[in-house]
Amino acid sequence: MGLLNAVDLYRFYHSNEEETLALRGVSLEVKAGEIVAVMGPSGSGKSTLLSCLAGLDEPDGGYVEVMGQRITRRPEEERAAIRSAEIGILLQSGNLFEHLTVEENILLQMSLAHRGDRKRMNDLLNRTGISHRRSAYPEELSGGEAARAGMAVALSTNPSILLADEPTGEVDSETEKHIINLFESVRNERCAILVATHSETLASYANRIVHLRDGMVVGG
């Protein structure tokens, strides 16, 4: 049994009389110490899948289990508690609150999970290579620095599961390599990692690749 399990997920969106089938019976699992890459063209359902896995969105059918706990169709307060305790989330952008410094963003995430740990914060700042930018605000960071700061926030609570949505989509090759090295390090710490990506380079480091097309798994 994986740390993260999705069973037969369906997600529909309605606009007037039109219905969009974003997910059609998607099932997958991610085990401790494993990287699973989800690949597919834009509109294939990757971001919708990650939202359902994180409990940010509710599937119309099927369910998600996190660390053996069903997260689907529970009150938002309970989903948020599981999410903050067990899941780190790294998006392509928007990982940082603009009115907080890098250090304050990390400390806020730790506080929400009741896991304040300045030693871990300092370690993460060093591992991500942005210790010298700890007092900077997001608008003062380069794209690569913002991506690495987002990684530090996502890892700040020492999550059992890391979900990443196109984490290298807007960074240069040097930053992509740095992020991949961090993924490798976290995998060695037995974290379960699921990453949605278009990057063949990033996907080459995965234990498995799951291909999505039109909301369905077509390989993996």
List the chain domain ranges.
32-58+75-219
What is the pLDDT, as a whole number, of residue 170? Answer: 80
- Matching residue, tokens 């994180």: 54
Distance spanning both ends of the chain, measured CA to CA: 17
Which residues, at least 6 apart from 70, have a Cβ–Cβ distance to it below 8 Å? 63, 64
What is the Cα–Cα distance from 6 to 27, expressed in whole angstroms?
A: 5
Per-residue pLDDT 10s for the chain (220 aa) are 789 999 999 999 877 777 788 999 999 999 999 999 999 998 899 999 999 999 999 999 999 999 999 999 999 999 999 998 899 999 877 899 999 999 999 999 999 888 888 999 999 999 999 999 999 999 999 988 999 999 999 999 999 999 999 998 888 888 899 999 999 999 999 999 999 999 999 999 999 999 999 999 996 5
CA nearest to 53, candidates 40, 72, 33: 72
Cβ 80 vs Cβ 114: under 8 Å: no
What is the pLDDT, as a whole number, of residue 220? Answer: 52
Cβ 50 vs Cβ 195: under 8 Å: no
What is the pLDDT, as a whole number, of residue 66? Answer: 96
What is the pLDDT, as a whole number, of residue 36? Answer: 97
Cross-strand pairs, 6 = 28, 64
What is the pLDDT, as a whole number, of residue 92? Answer: 79
What is the pLDDT, as a whole number, of residue 188? Answer: 94
**Looking at the whole model, is its pTM more than 0.75?**
yes
What is the pLDDT, as a whole number, of residue 38? Answer: 97
What is the pLDDT, as a whole number, of residue 116? Answer: 83
Say which CATH superfamily domain 32-58+75-219 falls into.
Answer: P-loop containing nucleotide triphosphate hydrolases (3.40.50.300)
